[in-house]
């Protein structure tokens, strides 16, 4: 009798044990499926389409709809797979900065309509620059900047430094729209000479006093060289590619984005303390 009781008890424990094991397996299977759904790769081309739509909404003054669209992208952007786009951390960070500024365009009340449109358009160009390695949209805007430099050159040669200064400031505002696209879609070694020269002219205004317009001509040449160079395949650090291959680009992008948001939050808190 005692042996039968022990046997029955063992049977009961075995059944309960199997039930617990099956329950645990089912639990983790469900969790795994949920996590898989949550981390489903988002195609960057979808973000590009949403950015284009958001730009149209802001142009039409539909800020609430544009805000909702940006909130949707905030949820899905970290799930974008960058496997097909050779981007380093600096390029990704610039893309996320442009995305944040696009968010400001539909949340900040003190921005002018022109600023809102410029922020959105800058993000639109930045996303397109990553996708479209051949004939990206920002190049068309850059060609217009070349034409504007012709006007600045004329003003300098006509010995009108004040008009040249105002034209150059306007030029810088237009350049700021395409800058995120250049940073996100072009290798640093290609754009750095041009960017460095822009910064130099911005911090040294004595070139406006010289009627030979030599500095403006050099800036035009630098921008022209940037536009005429053949696109080369962007390269990330080997160590970064190792991380991306080992943990997956979607998670890598999520970590980069979360890190950027954390950094931004710390900067905002520091600003409030100051």
* Domains in the chain: boundaries: 1-38, 44-228
- pTM here is 0.70
Q: Do 141 and 112 form a contact (C-beta atoms < 8 A)?
A: no
Beta carbons within 8 Å of 180's beta carbon, 6+ residues apart: 94, 95, 97, 98, 122, 123, 125, 126
Give the pLDDT confidence of 79-126 residue by residue, as tens digits: 888 777 888 889 999 999 999 999 999 999 899 999 999 999 999 999
pLDDT-derived band at 242 (thresholds 50, 70, 90) equals very low
Number of helices (H), then strands (E), in the chain: 11, 0
Query: Which is nearest to 48 in space by CA: 105, 103, 99?
Result: 99
Alpha carbon 107 to its chain centroid, in Å, reads: 18
Tell me which DSSP letter residue 77 carries.
G
Alpha carbon 230 to its chain centroid, in Å, reads: 23
Give the pLDDT confidence of 22-74 residue by residue, as tens digits: 555 454 444 444 444 445 678 899 999 999 999 999 999 999 999 999 999 99
- What CA–CA distance (Å, rounded) separates 7 from 117? 77
Question: What is the C-alpha end-to-end distance of the chain, expressed in Å?
Answer: 81
């Amino acid at each position: 009798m005692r042996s039968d009781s022990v046997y029955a008890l063992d049977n009961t424990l075995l059944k309960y044990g199997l039930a617990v094991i099956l329950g645990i397996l089912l639990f983790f299977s469900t969790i795994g499926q949920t996590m898989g759904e949550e981390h489903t790769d988002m195609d960057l081309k979808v973000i590009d389409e949403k950015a284009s739509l958001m730009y149209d909404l802001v142009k039409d003054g539909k800020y609430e709809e544009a805000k909702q669209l940006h909130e949707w992208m905030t949820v899905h952007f970290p799930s974008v797979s960058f496997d097909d786009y050779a981007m380093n951390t600096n390029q990704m960070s610039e893309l996320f900065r442009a995305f944040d500024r696009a968010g400001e365009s539909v949340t900040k009340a003190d921005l002018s309509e022109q600023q809102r449109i410029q922020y959105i358009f800058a993000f639109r160009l930045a996303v397109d620059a990553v996708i479209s390695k051949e004939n990206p949209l920002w190049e068309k805007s850059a060609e217009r900047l070349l034409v504007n430099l012709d006007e600045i050159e004329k003003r300098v040669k006509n010995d009108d430094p004040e008009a040249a200064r105002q034209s150059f400031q306007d030029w810088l505002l237009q350049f700021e729209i395409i800058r995120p696209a250049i940073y996100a879609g072009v290798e640093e070694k290609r754009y750095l000479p041009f960017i460095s020269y822009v910064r130099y002219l911005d911090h040294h205004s004595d070139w406006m006093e010289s009627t030979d317009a030599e500095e403006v001509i050099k800036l035009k040449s630098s921008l022209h060289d940037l536009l005429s160079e053949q696109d080369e395949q962007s390269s990330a650090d080997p160590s970064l590619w190792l991380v991306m291959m080992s943990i997956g680009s979607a998670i890598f992008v999520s970590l980069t984005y979360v890190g950027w948001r954390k950094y931004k939050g710390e900067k905002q808190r520091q600003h409030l303390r100051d």
